[in-house]
């Protein structure tokens, strides 16, 4: 390996590190625990903890923490030092198996959705043995689940792990029924493409809205936006390149295969994509990646913006979730093989996915969104809020050909043949094109779920994908159970696929998902279109959704109710912060600037009397009207907000904010943007879009 990669994985207590440092029986016991074949006893845990402590201290670590993912969407940690007083009063380093396996943070201030009262603060963290321990900033970080005193999940990791188990059992059933008896388990392979913006830190520090909400609550478009497409895949700015280099180095040390980096479409926007890995680890690594992006940006005098829509009028940011199912011997169950039409198992898994998506479209839409993503979904660069599945003409035609009474479309949808070109290597055929307007697209051997917001944890979206696929596969397996011969199973499977396409073909769409025609067509097909995130959260009350999660032992009914409450509260709180911030900036920054500029022009007009230039007269008139209209809009927003939050419950308050308060915010924004278009920089001192987006 070359020098840049010599430190790869150096800060991870990897399986290789464990094998090298642990006695063989201890290592084998840990392996069985990872495979869910046994549990760790105390002596084994003590041995692992001791080896882990020695390794961490060799790397300079002085503290350890149980690193967990509460329902805030981020991560949490409480640091404890290894140092303790010894028997003679001398300092010793201690880290036991009990400390490794179980922690007890106070945790009273984390969202619980009513699962416990504030005075019942006790929560427990338990080591997730399937995700590697790592070192950040001289702290040994132990990935853990977080549960209440009575055992309910207070995080996103435990339900994700449970959903992977449910999917594994269902997928393994189907694979075994098709004759592959050696497969004992399955996992998900996930690749999370992370989009983000970078701006100069000095502009970020002067924008209260960016600091408190992650997005600009107002801002007139720059004279240049993204219409020339010259930023996309362009030469990476030198300053950004230095930032990316350090990000890569930090990720590689943590065993994260940061693979691809490039300029995205919008000015100041970039993307980082890793090599795919198993789903639980991929989610952990994405949380680490977002943290490293933010902290490394600070070191380079930059601010990393992970909000889904930091700037109006240009592309927002997403987190594309590339999802596939893989057997324990490495078979990708979404891989069509050389002859997809003859690969019955592949067709069954494709149809299971189609059925799953069409059965739970609102749940999927909710899982991939939050308050920030409402600004992005359905915009010109993002998938619509209407769920559909794109398969590509080739795969879609194969599936439709199974459907009775359907005429094959092969004649008009042939894959274009590429002729050899001099000096170019052979150009292989793909069995799908990429429909960038589709929220869920099949891209060769995986499905790309493109709706996820860039700032979000990917845990819940993958929990949902696992759950709906597990249910769909179990229903198929139930129909295949009891059939004796493989040929009969294959024939029955084709019949099942035929019925699924008949029942769920409405979800398949290959056209332009951004078009108004698709909105009308989707309505004609009966596909749900939920406008806001706050409305989509109500799907957690749906008996069908409750039955899905409870039957698979992923969430209890009580936990689902708590999740709904937390999401509703989080939406309301985020929007209230935005309202307060917009009001404060308008009063303390915008209106004073308007007034100062008006006074300057009014004095010039008065001094010049009748000889005043028309420009000055017009400016005074415009500014006078803008000041009055802005002041009225501030009053209207404040009254509207107070009325909206007087509703008796969180959902009603959130819905009132979306439908009644958001339009008032937009009206105030439009006035401020109009002022920005005519404002003199002598009076208006807030950084504008052209400064923030084009000064890297």
> Are 574 and 538 part of one and the same domain?
no
The structure tokens 């882990």 sit at 52
Is residue 519 in a domain? yes
Q: Is residue 560 part of a domain?
A: no
Tell me, what's the pLDDT at 379? Answer: 53
Q: 266 and 358: one domain?
A: yes
pLDDT, mean of residues 547-573: 95
Phi, psi of 259 (to 5 degrees): -110, -50
Are 171 and 124 contained in the same domain?
no
Total structural domains in the chain?
3
Tokens 């109009």 found at: 674
What's this model's pTM, rounded to 2 decimal places? 0.93
Could you tell me the CATH number of the domain that includes residue 471? 3.30.590.10
First-to-final CA distance of the chain? 33
Asked whether 358 and 506 are in contact (CB, 8 A), the reply is yes
pLDDT digits (tens, 9 = 90+) for 51-94: 999 999 999 999 999 998 888 888 988 898 999 888 887 888 89
3-state secondary structure of 390: strand
Whether 221 has a pLDDT exceeding 50, the answer reads: yes
Asked whether residue 111 carries a pLDDT value surpassing 80, the answer given is no
What would the pLDDT profile of 256-268 be if each residue is shown by its tens digit? Answer: 999 999 989 899 9
Does 144 lie in the same domain as 42?
A: yes
**CATH code for the domain of 81:** 3.10.20.70
The answer to whether residues 185 and 131 belong to one domain is: no
Give mean pLDDT, residues 600-623: 86
Instruction: Please say if the pLDDT value at position 486 is more than 70.
Output: yes
Which residues are 63's β-sheet partners? 81, 139
In a domain, 565, yes or no: no
Tens-digit pLDDT profile for residues 5-49: 789 999 999 999 999 999 999 989 888 888 877 788 888 999 999
Q: What pLDDT does residue 423 have?
A: 44
- 162-182 in b/e form (b: 16+ CB < 10 A) is bbbbbbbbbbbbbbebbeeee
Domain assignment present for residue 564? The answer is no
Question: Are 516 and 577 in the same domain?
Answer: no
Residue 363 scores a pLDDT above 60: yes
Please indicate, yes or no, if residue 563 is contained in any of the structural domains.
no
Query: Which residues, 6 or more positions from 23, have their beta carbon under 8 angstroms from its beta carbon?
Result: 47
pLDDT surpasses 70 at 412: no
Listed residue (2, 141, 168) closest to 59, CA to CA: 141
Whether 178 and 108 map to the same domain: the answer is no
449: phi then psi, degrees, rounded to nearest 5: -90, 105
| 212 and 279 together in one domain | yes
Residue at 186 is within a domain:
yes
Query: Is residue 652, in this structure, part of any structural domain at all?
Result: yes
- 368 plus 235 within the same structural domain: yes
Q: Lowest mean pLDDT: which of 70-84, 246-260, 361-375, 664-678?
A: 70-84
Q: Indicate if 56 and 13 belong to the same structural domain.
A: yes
Range of the domain at 96: 3-152
On whether the CB atoms of residues 233 and 262 are closer than 8 A, the answer is: yes
Number of C-beta neighbours around residue 642 at 10 A: 11
Q: Among the three residues 100, 118, 152, which one is the final residue of a domain in this structure?
A: 152
pLDDT > 90: percent of the chain: 68
680 shares a domain with 538: no
Residue 278: its H or E element: strand 277-278
Report the percentage of the chain scoring pLDDT > 70: 91
The CATH number given to whatever domain includes residue 670 is 1.20.120.1560
Instruction: Pick 228 or 644 by higher pLDDT.
Output: 644
In a domain, 309, yes or no: yes
For 603: left if phi > 0, alpha if psi spans -120 to 50, otherwise beta; the answer is alpha
CA distance 355 to 377: 23
In this prediction, residue 659 carries a pLDDT of 94
Give the mean model confidence (pLDDT) for residues 192-219: 97
Last residue of a domain, which of 152, 173, 205? 152
- Domain ends where: 129, 152, 175? 152
Both 124 and 267 in one domain: the answer is no
Is the pLDDT reported for residue 421 higher than 50? Answer: no
Closest by CA to 357, choosing from 282, 444, 448, is: 448
- CB burial of 286-322 (b: ≥16 within 10 Å; e: otherwise) equals bbbbbebbeebbeebebbbbbbbbbbbbbbbbbbbbb
């Amino acid at each position: 390996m070359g020098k840049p990669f010599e430190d790869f994985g150096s800060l991870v207590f990897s399986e290789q590190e464990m094998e090298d440092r642990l006695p063989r029986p201890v290592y084998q016991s840990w392996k069985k625990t990872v495979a869910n074949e046994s549990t760790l006893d105390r002596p084994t845990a003590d041995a692992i903890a001791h080896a882990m402590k020695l390794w961490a201290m060799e790397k300079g670590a002085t503290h350890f923490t149980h690193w967990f993912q509460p329902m805030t969407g981020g991560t949490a940690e409480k640091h404890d030092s290894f140092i303790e007083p010894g028997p003679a009063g001398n300092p010793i380093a201690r880290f036991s198996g009990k400390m490794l396996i179980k922690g007890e943070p106070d945790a009273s201030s984390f969202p619980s959705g009513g699962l416990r009262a504030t005075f019942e603060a006790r929560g427990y963290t338990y080591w997730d043995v399937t995700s590697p321990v790592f070192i950040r900033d001289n702290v040994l970080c132990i990935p853990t689940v977080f549960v209440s005193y009575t055992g309910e999940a207070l995080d996103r990791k435990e339900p994700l792990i449970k959903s992977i188990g449910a999917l594994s059992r269902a997928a393994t059933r189907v694979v075994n029924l098709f004759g592959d008896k050696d497969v004992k388990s399955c996992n998900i392979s996930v690749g999370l493409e992370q989009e983000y913006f970078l701006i100069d830190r000095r502009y970020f520090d002067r924008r209260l809205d960016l600091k408190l909400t992650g997005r600009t609550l107002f801002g007139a478009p720059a004279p240049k936006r993204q219409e020339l497409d010259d930023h996309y895949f362009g030469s990476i700015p030198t300053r950004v390149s230095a930032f990316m280099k350090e990000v890569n180095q930090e990720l590689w040390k943590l065993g994260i295969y940061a693979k691809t980096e490039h300029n995205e479409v919008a000015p100041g926007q970039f993307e980082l994509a890793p090599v795919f890995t198993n789903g639980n680890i991929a989610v952990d690594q994405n949380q680490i990646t977002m943290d490293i992006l933010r902290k490394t940006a600070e070191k380079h005098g930059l601010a990393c913006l992970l909000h889904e829509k930091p700037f109006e009028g240009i592309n927002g940011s997403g987190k594309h979730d590339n999802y596939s199912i893989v057997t324990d011997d490495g078979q990708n169950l979404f891989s069509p093989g050389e002859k997809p039409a003859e690969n019955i198992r592949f067709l069954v898994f494709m149809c299971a996915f189609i059925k799953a998506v069409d059965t739970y479209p609102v749940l999927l839409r909710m899982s991939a969104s939050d308050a920030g993503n409402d600004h992005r979904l359905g915009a010109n660069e993002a998938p619509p809020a209407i769920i559909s599945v794109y398969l590509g003409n080739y795969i879609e035609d194969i599936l439709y050909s199974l459907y009775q009474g359907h005429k094959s479309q092969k004649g008009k949808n042939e894959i274009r043949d590429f002729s050899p070109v001099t000096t170019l290597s052979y150009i292989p055929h793909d069995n799908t094109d990429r429909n960038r307007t589709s929220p869920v697209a099949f891209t060769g051997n995986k499905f790309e779920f493109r709706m996820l917001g860039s700032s979000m944890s990917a845990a819940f979206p993958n929990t949902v994908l696992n759950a709906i696929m597990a249910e769909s596969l179990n229903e198929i397996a139930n129909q295949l159970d009891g059939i004796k011969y493989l040929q009969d199973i294959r024939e029955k499977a084709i019949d099942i696929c035929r019925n699924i396409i008949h029942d769920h073909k409405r979800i398949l769409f290959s056209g332009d998902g951004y078009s108004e025609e698709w909105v009308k067509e989707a309505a004609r097909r009966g596909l749900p279109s939920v406008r806001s995130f706050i409305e989509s959260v109500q799907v957690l009350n749906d008996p069908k959704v409750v039955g899905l999660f409870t039957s698979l032992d992923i969430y209890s009914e009580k936990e689902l109710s708590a999740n709904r409450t937390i999401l509703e509260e989080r939406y309301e709180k985020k929007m209230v912060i935005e309202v307060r911030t917009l009001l404060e900036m308008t009063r303390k920054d915008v209106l004073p600037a308007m007034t100062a500029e008006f006074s300057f022009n009014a004095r010039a007009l008065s001094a010049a009397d009748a000889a005043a230039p028309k420009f000055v007269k017009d400016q005074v008139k415009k500014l006078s009207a803008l000041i009055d209209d802005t002041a009225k809009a501030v009053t209207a927003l404040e009254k509207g907000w107070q009325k909206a939050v007087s509703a008796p419950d969180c959902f009603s308050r959130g819905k009132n904010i979306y439908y009644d308060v958001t339009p008032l915010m937009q009206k105030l924004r439009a006035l401020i943007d109009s002022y920005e278009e005519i404002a003199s920089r002598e009076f208006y001192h807030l950084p504008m879009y052209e400064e923030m987006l084009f000064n890297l």
